[in-house]
């Protein structure tokens, strides 16, 4: 596994954690909850407050992630939206993009 794949895998793991968080928030009819930061730093323990609607928007695209402002890593991703409490980043590095699409927990029918 190269450096890019390693970082992409870290982000995909945080994304999996957030999928579970979103599921339980939905079960309790919560409007919003605290997600984990989906940045490439495996030791990051920051929390990101967001609504389920905001979260769904990010999850709609397998290459976008939810992070704490400032946690973006410019060599692999770019900020597509700044919501104040959090930023939405899109993977632009090719290996990283491919890896996060492969690990997408919600694969589109055309991708599988
Ligand atoms: Zn982070």
Q: Which tens digits make up the pLDDT trace of 17-52? A: 999 999 999 999 999 999 999 999 999 999 999 999
pLDDT of 1: 85
All residues at 6 or more sequence positions from 85 whose CB lies less than 8 Å from its CB, including other chains: 48, 49, 50
Q: Beta strands 77-82 and 64-67: pairing type? A: unpaired
- With 0-12 / 13-18 / 19 or more C-beta atoms within 10 angstroms meaning exposed / middle / buried, residue 91 is buried
Q: State pTM to two decimals.
A: 0.92
pLDDT of 111: 53
Instruction: Count the alpha carbons within 13 Å of 49 in the hemisphere toward its beta carbon.
Output: 3
Q: How far is the CA of 63 from the centre of ligand 1 (A)?
A: 16
Q: How far is the CA of 108 from the centre of ligand 1 (A)?
A: 27
Q: Is the pLDDT of residue 108 over 80?
A: no
pLDDT tens figures, 43-72:
999 999 999 999 999 999 999 999 999 999
Q: How far is the CA of 110 from the centre of ligand 1 (A)?
A: 31
């Amino acid at each position: 596994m190269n450096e890019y794949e390693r970082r992409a895998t870290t982000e995909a793991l945080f994304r999996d954690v957030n999928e579970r968080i979103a599921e339980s928030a939905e079960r309790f009819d919560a409007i919003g909850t605290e997600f984990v930061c989906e940045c490439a730093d495996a030791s990051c323990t920051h929390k990101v407050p967001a609504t389920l609607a905001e979260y769904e928007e990010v999850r709609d695209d397998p290459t976008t992630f939810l992070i704490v402002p400032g946690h973006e890593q410019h060599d692999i991703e770019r900020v597509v939206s700044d919501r104040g409490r959090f930023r939405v980043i899109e993977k632009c590095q090719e290996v990283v993009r491919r890896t996060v699409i492969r690990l997408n927990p919600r694969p589109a029918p055309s991708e599988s």
